[in-house]
Amino acid sequence: MVPAHEGRAAEPVYRPILANRRGELEALGHLDDDVAPLLAPVLQVSVLNSYTLDVLGRLPAGLLPGVDVTDLPDAPETELVRWGVPLVPVIGLADSDRRLVAHGAAARAHAHRALVRLRVGRDRAGPDAATAAAERIWRFTRLVPEQCDLLLDAGDVCCAADMRVAEPRLRRLREWARRHAWRSVSVAAGGMPPSLTRLPTDEPVRLDRWDWRLWLRLADLGVGYGDYGVGSAVPGADQPGDRLPTVRYTTDDAWWVYRWSRRGGRGDDRFADLCRALVSAPHWPAAGADFSWGDHELVRRARRGAGAGSASNWAAWSTSHHLAHVLAALPHPGRETRPGPWRSGQAGPERGRPARPHRGEARRAG
């Protein structure tokens, strides 16, 4: 097998952290070959199965995913070099010595590099302790700093208060990172609430993208961008599926959440009604169905050209649009302006209403 990273024309500009569920993997599988090299997804593998390995082997040319097996047992079958597919090992500061050795072997087998994921809330340590942890990683993996990308993962950032706490921490970590010759440094956060079940139904609801706002506030640091796609950063969160037909639609500063419970008629009719509301909304992109594979599938449902699908399909179409939107929004090397219908700071009429804070969420009122 030819490694997927060979012949890449560009370095990644976007590191989405995604669960290894069918919806997210399907969205990655439908990326266009010309944009795939701009993504470096981080797949969080909590359950190892044949479907995941099969999809990893069939990803678009130029797409080289990072794979995080922190949630899997430290056993021979979770050694990434045994999987037989091109990937980048994702290394945690608390990984065992044995796992670090295995990650080093995986890095040398494919990309000759690794991604070190420092979780801001979990890996609490001062600069000297963080340096000691990084040096331990390099020693056991037999890698050097220039072969390692650093991902500063702020986790759940769902309100202004969360952002005020995360920003100074990330600035201190970025200052620490300057001590070492990392290949690159990126910041990731997740702004999607862990559950949408309390949101109103049958109307689009606007949710702020606090992860995107946080990254914009850190623009002076020159760090790359990452997020949790349309999912939540909260472990075990009730996402992305919902028993109701649900689409999480990304725009510049917000997600528009469509949860449809209208009764009468078949389930296909209900989802078609949801899609018709979406494609007629002001935040529907000018490119329409051509914006992404996910947008194309949503248009088909709006025209009743296909069935409603399942929660995995809704997650796949939402994720596909999200990946395309973020890539259109981010600056690419050698490009002065971004493509697509959206421009930073562009305002337009918005239909629907913002989400109401619910009981127990007072701290998120910011």
Residue 313 burial by Cβ neighbours in a 10 Å radius (0-12, 13-18, 19+):
buried
Looking at per-residue pLDDT, the higher value among 1 and 324 belongs to 324
Angle at 245 between CA 239 and CA 249, to 5 degrees: 70
Which CATH number does the domain housing residue 119 bear? 3.20.20
The predicted-structure confidence for 304-348, as pLDDT tens digits, reads as follows 878 899 999 999 999 999 999 999 999 876 554 343 332 233 333
Task: Provide the pLDDT for residue 51.
Answer: 86
* Position 337 in a domain: no
The predicted-structure confidence for 220-272, as pLDDT tens digits, reads as follows 999 999 999 999 999 877 655 557 899 999 999 999 999 998 765 566 788 99
Angle at 48 between CA 44 and CA 54, to 5 degrees: 95
List CB contacts of 170: < 8 A, sequence separation 6 or more. Answer: 120, 152, 154, 187, 214, 218, 221
Task: Provide the pLDDT for residue 350.
Answer: 37
Domain of 252 in residue numbering reads as: 14-330
Task: Provide the pLDDT for residue 239.
Answer: 54
Reported as type and span, the H/E element at residue 314 is: helix 311-329
The predicted-structure confidence for 285-309, as pLDDT tens digits, reads as follows 999 999 999 999 999 999 987 889 9
* Position 342 in a domain: no
Looking at per-residue pLDDT, the higher value among 327 and 358 belongs to 327
Angle at 262 between CA 278 and CA 242, to 5 degrees: 75
Task: Provide the pLDDT for residue 340.
Answer: 37
Model confidence at 353: pLDDT above 80: no
* Position 139 in a domain: yes
The predicted-structure confidence for 30-51, as pLDDT tens digits, reads as follows 999 889 999 999 999 998 888 8
* Position 151 in a domain: yes
Strand positions, DSSP E, 198-297: 205-208, 224-227, 246-250, 254-259
Query: Confidence band (pLDDT; 50, 70, 90) for 157?
Result: very high
Q: Cα separation of 146 and 173, whole Å? A: 18
* Position 311 in a domain: yes
Task: Provide the pLDDT for residue 269.
Answer: 86
* Position 364 in a domain: no
Query: Which among 94, 105, 55, 98 is positioned nearest to 71, based on CA atoms?
Result: 94
Task: Provide the pLDDT for residue 238.
Answer: 62
Query: Confidence band (pLDDT; 50, 70, 90) for 171?
Result: very high
Task: Provide the pLDDT for residue 264.
Answer: 54
Structural domain count of the chain = 1
Q: Which residue's structure tokens are 């056991």?
A: 140
* Position 366 in a domain: no
Q: Which amino acid is at 19?
A: A
- Report the DSSP beta bridge partners of residue 14: 39, 225
pLDDT mean over 151-174: 96
Model confidence at 3: pLDDT above 50: no
* Position 363 in a domain: no
DSSP β-ladder status, 246-250 and 254-259: antiparallel
Model confidence at 277: pLDDT above 70: yes
The predicted-structure confidence for 94-144, as pLDDT tens digits, reads as follows 999 999 999 999 999 988 999 999 999 888 778 999 999 999 999 999 999
